[in-house]
Chains A and B, each alone.
Chain A
Amino acid sequence: MAYLDHAATTPMLPEAAAAMTAQFAATGNASSLHAAGRRARRTVEEAREALAEALGARPSEVVFTAGGTEADNLAVKGLYWARRDADPARTRVLAGPVEHHAVLDAVHWLGEHEGADVEYLPVDRYGRVHPEDLREAIARNPDDVALATVMWANNEIGTVMPVRELAAVAREFGVPLHSDAVQAVGQLDVRFGDSGLAAMAVSGHKIGGPYGIGALLLGRDQTPVPVLHGGGQERHVRSGTLDVPAIAAFAVAAVIAAERRERFAAEIGALRDELVAAVLRAVPDAVLGGDPDDRLPANAHFSFPGCEGDSLLLLLDAQGIECSTGSACTAGVAQPSHVLLATGTDPQLARGTLRFSLGHTSTKEDVAAVAAAIGPAVERARTAGLS
């Protein structure tokens, strides 16, 4: 088996699994005052401190959520509502067109149901949002902008965004910028504190932690309207009993990801380059998606002319190679990716995509397996054609 879909989810680190299982044996609601509660609270707060340090943030800036999607929803909707409540003129939402659906669909929903005037920022052929375009969009009328949201790095094609420059522009105008950093953590130098961001979403299971846990890094001056109302946990921004085992394991994974990041990025980047070279050798007319240089080190994305991505997936799966087309499904039917369409890729070409995403268990053997299988698979998928 060659598992090359780490961007979907990556195997849990043994250290994280150990931290999690250790907590399963313990009782305690972190909001309780008795000894069991105090023990749980200590675990949560130590995890919060560790996570904050790993992400260059303050502990008070960490709001635990049930994953990246919830963190994105809280940032986008919560900040929109708060900014509009403070000034009803603020209804414009600026978003990158290549955002993950957790952001894109939340923004779209605000447009459909909350009177938001959604404006998609221009991107170049690598999907990158440029600071001058953000400046132009805000400067047109700085007073009506509720928020802007641009991901740290793209989950499909791997392009890295100039987040700090974008945040500096937004700051100049007093506009909060949210960034989905789910794919970036563990691969790029993600430090919330000096990013200039108002909010940043991160996820546990993409970095070797458990599923169902994430966090919104939230500047202390930001008071989004909650999406979940209840017991008032997490700065009254995100109610709900804290998931102590998941939080403990998430923090362990985040700390390890930060410690190993530089070396991991260099090694996985070299392995990824081998994979890209091997694929382009086997299929010379394959098109590498995203920025060839400034991209996530573990991401390789290709379009194969004349192929259906689904056919390639089936053929590679039969060879024990697990990867993804990179695009979302509608009722299980692959649609051309909104990311590729936004970068101006021909819609026919956009149907034949594959994303290989490497991770901490990837080996040279995985790359060799792809190198051996991809040529015949593409040839065969081309005979099957585009249905």
Chain B
Amino acid sequence: MTENLPRAPRPLRVLAAMSGGVDSAVAAARAVEAGHDVTGVHLALSANPQSFRTGARGCCTIEDSRDARRAADVIGIPFYVWDLAERFREDVVEDFISEYEAGRTPNPCLRCNEKIKFAALLDKALALGFDAVCTGHYATVVLNEDGSRELHRASDMAKDQSYVLGVLDEKQLAHALFPLGDTLTTKEEIRAEAEERGLAVAKKPDSHDICFIADGDTQGFLASRLGKAEGDIVDGATGEKVGTHDGAFGFTIGQRKGLRIGHPAPDGKPRYVLDISPVNNTVTVGPVEALDVSALTAIRPRWCGSTAAAPGTYTAQLRAHGGETEVFAEVVDGELRVRFTEPVRGVAPGQAIVLYDGTRVVGSATIATTTRAAAASV
């Protein structure tokens, strides 16, 4: 039985996180309709809202705050703006920067769900007497007969967001409502529903980019925070210097564009970033085959059930909107060790691996090291 949005007769005091977008607005409206006592809250995550994006995407603008307030007024629920900018800066933005600085590729949305929406926000909500936090995420919550909860992929795989919720533990899950996740509705249907409900955000564009990087220019953002540090781009096979860069932190494993290598490789094939070494500020490049990864280790595992995953075969997702791949996974000394049945390409340390058993989210961990399949690996 799915438990995304339990119905009254057991009405809950629900805090609906409202980004100013269409999904969270419809989610809040559905929670009200299900008979719950709902209060809307918009998270102010930027210390200086005016300086951030001025468009209508993302979650940090005054405009978004106003859109969320408008939606709350139409739905007819109290609405507050909570300033979590300091926590967001510490737990998400600074973490994002230091991860890149260390040569890894972080996912700030997972981090935000783990540390802000289902930690700072949830804790405050529970302290203030709320029973649950409601968001517009697409994922399914299943209530077992023994009262335990499971997180599953959304009914509509195309919109599934269980990957970014893979960091939630059972306690967090017990206080989470996802009113959109267990219905087979297309985005167009959600927009139509918003329209019917008189919500002005019905036509608002989806958010895509990282909300705290105003113009979408991650490299520029990192450069402004970390400064420029010129270093070498080295060929992984020959060890020969093939170019220079303005800072190793600006690169992601598997990246092809923007390398600015003057002359082509001897075989004429494109080169990709294979490795980033912040210690000596070196970026290593090589052919696409060298990106193939056969195994990885991941740290900080978090389990959606009460127990750690038993050794066995699972499917894994390695990035948001990424496909599924079969793995053998086991926990050794508190660290997740994963072997891929078929090598996968472009696995970046810092990203999250989320393990699934069918549609059920088993848990997640942060990728620490990878083992390259090819002999040419570095």
Contact = CB atoms under 8 A, between A and B. Distances in A.
A384 B124 contact: yes
Given A332-B42, A333-B44, A387-B83, A381 B128 contact: yes
Contacts of A330: 49
A144 to B, nearest CB: 34
A333 B39 contact: no
A380 B80 CA distance: 17
B124 A387 contact: yes
B26 to A, nearest CB: 21
B65 A332 contact: yes
A310 interface: yes
Contact of A331 (B78, B81, B127): B81
Given A318-B39, A330-B49, A332-B65, A311 B83 contact: no
A315 B78 CA distance: 11
Nearest to A384: B127
Interface string B103-137: 00000000000000000100110011100000000
A385 B124 CA distance: 8
Contact of B128 (A314, A329, A333, A334): A314
A63 interface: no
Contacts of B65: 331-332
A16 to B, nearest CB: 27
Contacts of B86: 387
Given A315-B128, A317-B78, A331 B49 contact: yes
Q: How large is the interface on B (under 10, 10 to 19, 20 to 34, 35 or more residues)?
A: 20 to 34
A313 interface: yes
B271 interface: no
A333 B129 contact: no
B257 interface: no
B124 A334 contact: no
B129 A315 contact: yes
B87 interface: yes
A349 B85 CA distance: 19
B53 interface: no
B35 to A, nearest CB: 17
Nearest to A376: B129
Interface string A52-90: 000000000000000000000000000000000000000
Contact of A380 (B42, B62, B69, B129): B129
Interface string A187-202: 0000000000000000
Contacts of A314: 39, 78, 80, 128
Interface string A348-387: 0000000000000000000000000000000011011101
Interface of B: 39, 42, 44, 49-50, 62, 65, 69, 78, 80-87, 120, 123-124, 127-129
Contacts of A310: 80, 82
A333 B85 CA distance: 10
A333 B124 contact: no
B32 to A, nearest CB: 15
Contacts of B124: 311, 384-385, 387
Given A331-B65, A387-B83, A311 B44 contact: no
B81 A332 contact: yes
Among the interface residues B44, B78, B82, which one has the most CB atoms of the partner chain A within 10 A? B82
Given A314-B128, A332-B69, A333-B49, 4 more contacts: A333-B85, A380-B128, A385-B124, A387-B82
Interface majority SS (helix, strand, loop, mixed), chain A: helix
13 contacts: A311-B128, A314-B128, A315-B128, A317-B78, A331-B62, A332-B62, A333-B81, A333-B83, A380-B127, A383-B127, A383-B128, A387-B86, A387-B120
A16 B29 CA distance: 38
> Which 10 residue pairs spanning A and B have beta carbons closest together?
A332-B81, A384-B127, A333-B83, A331-B49, A383-B127, A331-B62, A333-B44, A384-B124, A332-B65, A384-B128
A334 B78 contact: no
A329 B49 CA distance: 12
Interface string A273-317: 000000000000000000000000000000000000011011101
Contacts of A331: 44, 49-50, 62, 65, 81
Contacts of A317: 78
Contacts of B81: 329, 331-334
Among the interface residues A315, A332, A383, which one has the most CB atoms of the partner chain B within 10 A? A332
Nearest to B84: A387
Contacts of A329: 81
B63 to A, nearest CB: 10
A333 B39 CA distance: 17
Nearest to B120: A387
Contacts of A387: 82-84, 86-87, 120, 124
Contacts of A311: 124, 128
Given A317-B78, A318-B78, A387-B120, A334 B83 contact: yes
Nearest to B37: A318
A313 B80 contact: yes
Contacts of B44: 331-333
A311 B84 CA distance: 13
Interface string A127-160: 0000000000000000000000000000000000
